[in-house]
Amino acid sequence: MNRLNHPQLGLGIGWRPELALDIERRGDLGFVEIVAENINPDAIPPPLLKLREAGVQIIPHGIALSLGGAEPIDPARVRRLSDLARRLDSPLVSEHIAFVRAGGIEAGHLLPLPRTKAALGVLIDNVKRARELLDVPLALENISALFEWPGGEMSDAEFVSRVVDEADTGLLLDVANVWANARNLGGDPIDFLRQIPLERLAYVHIAGGEEREGTYHDTHAAPVPQEVLDLLAKLCQMTSIPGVMLERDDHFPDSRQLNSELDAIAEAFAQPRKHSVTAHA
In the window 98-117, what residues touch other proteins (CB under 8 A)?
99, 101-103, 105-109, 111, 114
Between 112 and 137, name the residue whose CB sits nearer to other proteins: 112
Task: Check: CB of residue 213 under 8 Å from CB of residue 174.
Answer: no
Rounded to the nearest whole angstrom, what is the least distance from the CB of residue 110 to other proteins in the complex? 10
Q: Which range of residues in 25-33, 82-90, 121-129, 172-180 is near other proteins by CB under 8 A?
A: 121-129
45 exposed, middle or buried (CB, 10 Å; 0-12, 13-18, 19+)? middle
Question: Interface residues for other proteins in 59-78 (CB under 8 A)?
Answer: 69-71
Could you please report the per-residue DSSP string of 89-133? Answer: T-S-EEEESSEEEETTEEEEEEEPPP-SHHHHHHHHHHHHHHHHH
Alpha-carbon dihedral 217, 37, 259, 267, rounded to 10 degrees: 70
Q: Determine if 14 is a binding residue for other proteins (CB under 8 A).
A: no
The C-alpha atoms of residue 163 and residue 172 are separated, in whole angstroms, by 12
User: Please, which of residues 181-240 interact with other proteins by CB under 8 A?
Assistant: 213, 215, 217, 221
- Cα–Cα dist 223/208, whole Å: 5
Binding flag, residue 89, other proteins (CB under 8 A): no
Please give the residues from 241 up to 270 whose contact with other proteins meets the rule CB under 8 A. Answer: 250
Piece of the chain touching other proteins by CB under 8 A; list 46-54, 94-102, 130-138, 263-271: 94-102
Residue (of 94, 78, 117) closest to 1 by Cα position: 94
Report the site for other proteins in 133-172 (rule: CB under 8 A): 145-151
Tell me if 249 sits within 8 A of 221, measured CB to CB.
yes
Contact between 149 and 117 (Cβ < 8 Å) = no
CB 103, min distance to other proteins, A: 3
| Binding footprint of other proteins on the chain (CB under 8 A) | 69-71, 99, 101-103, 105-109, 111, 114, 118-119, 121-122, 125, 145-151, 213, 215, 217, 221, 250
